[in-house]
Structure 1
Amino acid sequence: MGNTMCPGQDTSFWRPDDIFEVPCGNCGHEVEFFKDDATRRCKSCGTLVKNPKLNLGCAQWCEHAKDCLGYDPKEKLAQAESGDTSLTDKLIEAVKAVFGNDQKEIDHSLKVLDYARELIKKEPADPQVVMAAAILHDIGKPLAQVKHGSAAGAFHEMEGPLVAKEILQDLGLKAEVIDHICRIIANHHTAKGIDTPEFRLVWDADWLANIPRDFSELTPEKMEKLITKVFKTKTASKKAERLFL
């Protein structure tokens, strides 16, 4: 089918009510959904919220849906209907355990995860690697603070893989998957020694989350230069332009 998305899945053909908000059943915070999101994470409390209006359109029956979307819509429907705890849920619980009462760090990890989930819809990559690396990317900060007296990027890049590897092994992931995730964590500030599609998505998701916190005072001209310089995927670059310009 090439790279052209059919009208049924192209968001430029969507109606205003195809994007809507659903209250989190745990805390009441409004969670924004696209019509084809099976679930989304509440940014306030981290609870996984199911989409009560899930609508995959033509993708539910089209034989080319996986080629068009990059995922199997039948699997997405199963995800929406399943009550089982997913790998992502388990990783979020692990992140909460490591960060403890540091809600700021937990919120940042959830935001990066949310951006990664959005980007992967249009950028081919291994979802398991992307989701795990996104939620665990800063997992080395507490240990770095203890060992080095600082949680700066160089230090938590150094310590993060050690913490992440133990978590991922306990969850039974394959050795090669764990290695890939840990290499992303070890380079998510410096971008040295790795340039996989999964790394690029986690890198971009982290930048999307960091810009409002660290670069909110930039002029439009400087912001445009920053976006051109730092983002590694077209999807994230366009997202940044919509958000920050």
Structure 2
Amino acid sequence: MRIEKLLTAMMEYDHGDVPRIQHFVKVYEFARMIGLMEGLDSKTQFTLESAAVVHDIGIHISEQKYGSSSGKYQELEGPAEAKKLLDGLEWPVDVTERVCYLVGHHHTYHDMDGMDYQILVEADFLVNLFEDKVSLDGCRNAYHKIFRTESGKRLYRTMYPTA
């Protein structure tokens, strides 16, 4: 499986929605970097990268159904959308199951079971802190509460040196 195939399919899924496409590409790249820096095995790395690409796939349907892109709605609606996309690309079943789990939990910041989960959340935070123009205090709070990997912490401190 080639991750480029999934990136292209997700770009087509979000057709015309430049901010969301830019968002998942950035999250994907940070997740990829952190995973490689942390030395993940190849299967976990592939699962992480796949999850990073589709992590926000539930946004459009959440906005349609609930009028909101809230994290709780993304977690509710995203897994089924991710499964459809991944099944259509003939992604490995075990990877698809884990990706759907991660999509369904990527706004839940406790009981993170696995490096793929932890890194996905850290990568999403690295991007969201900037995109959402989070205050310095908010950034510091996120750093201390969310970041656990040495690589994620290092990237955070490089981007936000006042941690």
TM-score > 0.5 by shorter chain: yes
Select which of 191, 199, 224 maps to 2:140.
224
Of 186-195 and 95-104, the range deviating more from structure 2: 186-195
Q: Does 1:236 align with 2:152?
A: yes
Amino acid at match of 2:125: W
Q: Does 1:207 align with 2:105?
A: no
* Contact 2:109/2:146, CA 8 A, preserved across alignment: no
The residue number in structure 1 matching 2:31 is 116
CA distance in structure 2 between the aligned counterparts of 1:238 and 1:225, rounded to whole angstroms? 16
The total of aligned residue pairs comes to 158
Relative contact order: is structure 1 or structure 2 higher (C-alpha 8 Å, sep ≥ 6)? Answer: 2
Report the 3-state secondary structure (helix = DSSP H, G, I; strand = E; otherwise coil) of the residue aligned with 1:120: helix
Deviation at 1:194, TM superposition (A): 4.3
* Contact 1:95/1:136, CA 8 A, preserved across alignment: yes
Q: How do 1:56-205 and structure 2 match up within 5 A?
A: 87-125=2-40, 126-191=44-109, 194-205=112-123
Percent identity over the alignment is 28
Q: 1:105 to 1:170 in 2, by over 3 A?
A: same
* Contact 2:112/2:118, CA 8 A, preserved across alignment: no
* Contact 2:36/2:45, CA 8 A, preserved across alignment: no
Q: 1:164 to 1:193 in 2, by over 3 A?
A: farther
Amino acid at match of 2:51: A
The TM-score normalised by the length of structure 1 is 0.60
Report the 3-state secondary structure (helix = DSSP H, G, I; strand = E; otherwise coil) of the residue aligned with 2:69: coil
Amino acid at match of 1:123: E
Deviation at 1:183, TM superposition (A): 0.6
The residue number in structure 2 matching 1:50 is none
* Contact 1:96/1:106, CA 8 A, preserved across alignment: yes
Deviation at 1:192, TM superposition (A): 5.2
Amino acid at match of 1:214: D
The TM-score normalised by the length of structure 2 is 0.88
CA distance in structure 1 between the aligned counterparts of 2:134 and 2:108, rounded to whole angstroms? 22
> Which structure has the larger Rg?
1
Deviations 1:43-65 (A, max 9, x none): xxxxxxxxxxxxxxxxxxxxxxx
* Contact 1:228/1:237, CA 8 A, preserved across alignment: no
The residue number in structure 2 matching 1:69 is none
Instruction: Looking at secondary structure, tell me which structure has more helix per residue.
Output: 2
Q: Which runs of 5+ in 2 are unaligned?
A: none
Q: Which runs of 5+ in 1 are unaligned?
A: 1-85
